[in-house]
Amino acid sequence: MPRISIGKNIDVSMRDGTRLKCDIYRLDGAGSQPVLLQRLPYGKDNWKTANLLLDPIRAAQAGYTVVIQDTRGKFNSEGNFYCFTAEKQDGYDTVEWCARQSWSNGMIGMYGASYIGATQWLAAGTRPPHLKAIAPTFTASDYHDGWVYQGGAFQLGFCLYWVLSLAFETLMRSVNLGLICEGELTKLLETAERIEELYAHRPLADIPILGSPSPYYAEWLEHPHYDEYWRQIAPKESFKGIDIPVFNIGGWYDLFLGGTLSSYTGLPSEIRMKKRLLIGPWAHGTMGGTYHERDFGPLSSMENIKVDIGSELLRFFNHWLKNEKNGLEKEPPVKLFVMGRNQWLLATDWPLPGTNHVKYFLHSQGQANTLEGDGFIDNICPATELQDTYLYDPVNPVPTVGGQTFLPGVLIDSNAGPRDQKAIETRRDVLCYTSEPLRQQLTVIGPVCGILFASSSARDTDFTMKLVDVFPDGRAFILTEGILRARYRCSQEQDEYLIPETIYKFEVDMLATANVFMEGHRIRVEVSSSNFPRFDANTNAGGKVAEQTTADYVVARNQVYHSEQYSSCVIIPVIKDKWEF
């Protein structure tokens, strides 16, 4: 077997003179060949991270030179790490450096997940001449709505946990350079150990330990609107100029699912034949479809007889970087795992052609609180019905149970994915609307949207919605969910407070799913006003939530209306045509 050589800590100089370190994997004696580049802030020597999607040794054996680089200010690289801001120019400079090397033929591809996906999008937006294909995985298209915020609510659970982990390495560097004492590192570790307590801490912006290593955290809280701060780093703002092949990979329970899907649909129609989409039953941080409470079977992992991510990536890059005629151009560009059936589906586009967007209307006689209430859904528009009322108290928010989240724990996937919602469905501040048992299976694949006609006694509040698959034995597994901060009901670019007790229309983006509701199952929609700590608990007071204390908390009396005039519903993408699994 040919020998693989690994060059360690090779300098790559950026335009400002900062030297970033990379490792280079290639076959001994190989001439110039295509390059696969991965830029990450988690340490190129962290084999688990560097090897997450594609083993660099496997890629080298397949005829690629693999370059794995520590981003600016991380691990072996010089400079200061500042989330997102340097990735455009550093990505451009690194791509073009790779193209100039003797071992490169000038055909550069990028791959990787999460923030490593961000380094791809930000580089691609600058259009480096030698960047020929990217494969962003489990990542966002907008670092405001979809990374730091969603529907105007701050993604507290993920952001605080992630930033604390980034801050640790930053402080460690400062300790090693003699810039700070080890006591600062100890303080950070102690802070991270009590993260559950920190989630409840107010004001949100008052976390002094993050000030030095992670000043961007405070900046995120200072910019709750979509403004120029976010616009200048948003990949979606550069989509129109991207003309290279893109392989978008995501998971139905990944917290960046919305970004994966919007990246596919947002790219120019001119590159329709160059873009691909693959979505599995995966969450952020887990590589399979086996969760704490539900198992999607042997075909659900990232390495199975139907889908092997490493092989999928190599086939994609072989086609576009080596001009290999491997049949990729003849295959449907969309591959989806359909839960319930636990099978893979090939499709010609996303959303699927022929999708029927069916309205399921909310009904009750004013007592939809808890799963024991009188709430139900069907396809008949309501006539005259009493509205449902609940109290949302930010002191006692609805706890996060599963879904598209990334929270700390012994195992990340024990907190994410298809968790049973029964425990929270006993709360009076959770409205439950449930269908009759289905007489035949119902295939639901595509974007899900909630329409609420609602009012509040407060100037601001949140509305959350979940789509749930209820099994015959009563287990209620979350499929997808959404949230909308009321002040952002018209635009993410500016807030507009509520007039108390006035009925407004709220459109809640519930992202998407692919699920077959089997015969005998029921469809359930949950409505509430909190999902904590995935999202920060709205104080209901208006003003700057990040600066408010518990003294600012206001209990909101929220009402959901369902009548002929105010027909609250969830719009579900029903697939009636027969598709080949």
Per-residue three-class SS string for 427-457: CCCCEEEECCCCCCCEEEEEEEEEEEEEEEC
> Which of 326, 356, 568, 329 lies closest to 447 in space, CA to CA?
356
Query: What phi and psi, each to the nearest 5 degrees, are found at residue 518?
Result: -75, 160
Question: Distance between CA 14 and CA 230 in Å, rounded?
Answer: 24
Question: Distance between CA 28 and CA 6 in Å, rounded?
Answer: 9
Question: Distance between CA 243 and CA 254 in Å, rounded?
Answer: 26
Residue 513 near residue 467, CB atoms below 8 Å? yes
* pTM > 0.75: yes
CB-facing half-sphere around the CA of 146: CA atoms within 13 A: 23
**Quick one: 536 exposed, middle or buried, by C-beta within 10 A (0-12, 13-18, 19+)?**
buried
Place of tokens 């059936």: 341
Please give the single-letter amino acid code of residue 504: Y
Question: Distance between CA 562 and CA 360 in Å, rounded?
Answer: 11
Token pair for residue 327? Answer: 């049949």
Residues of each domain in the chain carrying CATH 3.40.50.1820: 4-145+229-347
Question: Distance between CA 167 and CA 195 in Å, rounded?
Answer: 14
> Which of 167, 101, 152 lies closest to 130 in space, CA to CA?
101
Tell me whether strands 356-363 and 343-347 are parallel, antiparallel or unpaired: unpaired
Residue 260 near residue 279, CB atoms below 8 Å? yes
Place of tokens 């060949």: 33
Residue 279 near residue 336, CB atoms below 8 Å? yes
Residue 478 near residue 398, CB atoms below 8 Å? no
Q: What class is the 356-574 domain?
A: mainly beta
For the chain, 581 residues long, give each residue's pLDDT as a single digit of tens: 689 999 999 999 999 999 999 999 999 999 999 999 999 999 999 988 888 899 999 999 999 999 999 999 999 999 999 999 999 999 999 999 999 999 999 999 999 999 999 999 999 999 999 999 999 999 999 999 999 999 999 999 999 999 999 999 999 998 888 888 888 889 888 888 899 899 999 999 999 888 889 999 999 999 999 999 999 999 999 999 999 999 999 999 999 999 999 999 999 988 889 999 999 999 997 778 999 899 999 999 888 878 899 999 999 999 999 999 999 999 999 999 999 999 999 999 999 999 999 999 999 999 999 999 999 999 999 998 999 999 999 999 999 999 999 987 644 557 899 999 999 999 999 999 999 999 999 999 999 999 999 999 999 999 999 999 999 999 999 999 999 999 999 999 999 999 999 999 999 999 999 999 999 999 999 999 999 999 999 999 999 999 999 999 999 999 999 999 999 999 999 998 666 55
Residues of each domain in the chain carrying CATH 2.60.120.260: 356-574
Instruction: Give the pLDDT confidence score for residue 304 in this predicted structure.
Output: 80
Question: Distance between CA 526 and CA 462 in Å, rounded?
Answer: 14
Q: Is 448 helix (H, G, I), strand (E, B) or coil?
A: strand
- Which residues participate in catalysis according to the annotation? 114, 254, 284
Mention every residue, 6+ apart, whose C-beta is less than 8 A from residue 67: 22, 23, 24, 25, 35, 36, 37, 38, 94, 98
Radius of gyration of the chain, Cα coordinates, nearest whole angstrom: 24
Beta-ladder partners of 446: 513
- Fold held by 4-145+229-347: Rossmann fold (3.40.50)
Question: Distance between CA 360 and CA 317 in Å, rounded?
Answer: 43
